[in-house]
Amino acid sequence: MSGAKSRRSAAVAAPSASPQLNGHVESDSIEAEKENIFLFAPNLIGYARIVLAVVSLWYMPLHPRTCSGLYSVSCLLDALDGYAARYLSQSTSFGACLDMVIDRCATTCLLVFLSSAFPRWILVFQGLIALDLASHYIHMYATLSTNGAEASHKNVSKSQSRILNLYYTNKTVLFTVCALNEVFFIALYLLSFSSPLLSPSLLQQMPAVAAGNEATPKLVQQVYNNPYSAGALELARANKMDSTVPWILASISFPIMALKQIINVVQLVKASQRLAEVDRNARTAKGLSTKKSAARK
């Protein structure tokens, strides 16, 4: 009797202990599932790219070789973070956004420098900055508006655009176009230190200085009170390096850079059309387009 009663008591007590146990297990599983997205390997590579880009900007005004090296490494890591994301199954929306923001910001900073180095072409560089930012922003926004928050901006079907489909789905094409686009701007940056064709006053100001000589701070201090003024920086840049290799790089990469700008235009137009279609559908669902048609009649 007492044994049966004790067994019944244990049976009654067991369910009360079960929720505590289940709650503890659920708590552990929740903690295990709460991953730190910010510390994923692809995102860590992205942070390294930011550091390299910032340091390259520090060297950009007067040290072309150091700046170009750091900037190039930052760009090359762009391919590595994508590979890491796929290999480690760590593709995230934050990572995709971070990657795009780093690309846009780095290119914009370089184009801003080119605008100051070649003031006669400032409208061209400003246009390239505006086109790059606008096309990618509207494309990303259109993707999120039409395909949801989990959609990738690289998922472009052939029905939407054949050239965008090839650009985003073929990794070789994507890497080649992006890499040579940056190579062209880096080549222009290097030419700002040496090319009399693009910037005649650069060499005329310092006829006595031999090509490749970087020992110019004393002369700059004698001519300009402020060594950080535009004129002082231009004088200090003169004859820093030979222009042969930069001209070769610029000539090879120019057609691909032009293609990249065409792709940006197509991306801008197609994304705008997709957003307009979303607006039309929303207006139709609310009956606004019908009311407007009736008012016209």
Residue numbers annotated as active site: 103
Beta carbons within 8 Å of 180's beta carbon, 6+ residues apart:
252, 253, 256, 257, 260
- The contacts found for 62-70 with CB under 8 angstroms, 24 or more apart, are 62/214, 62/233, 62/236, 62/237, 62/240, 64/189, 64/190, 64/193, 64/240, 64/241, 65/241, 67/189, 68/186, 68/189, 68/190
* Angstrom distance (rounded) from CA 295 to CA 180: 54
Residue labelled with tokens 């609310």: 286
Measuring CA to CA, which residue among 220, 215, 211, 219 is closest to residue 190? 211
Which amino acid is it at 178?
C
Length of the chain: 297
Which amino acid is it at 67?
C
Contact predicate 103/78, CB 8 Å: yes
Tell me the backbone φ, ψ of residue 66, rounded to 5 degrees.
-65, -45
* 96 C-beta neighbours (distance < 10 Å), count: 17
* Angstrom distance (rounded) from CA 284 to CA 286: 5
Tell me, rounded to whole angstroms, the distance of Cα 259 from its chain centroid. 18
- The contacts found for 108-113 with CB under 8 angstroms, 24 or more apart, are 108/132, 108/133, 109/53, 109/57, 110/60, 110/71, 110/185, 110/186, 110/189, 111/185, 113/60, 113/61, 113/189, 113/192
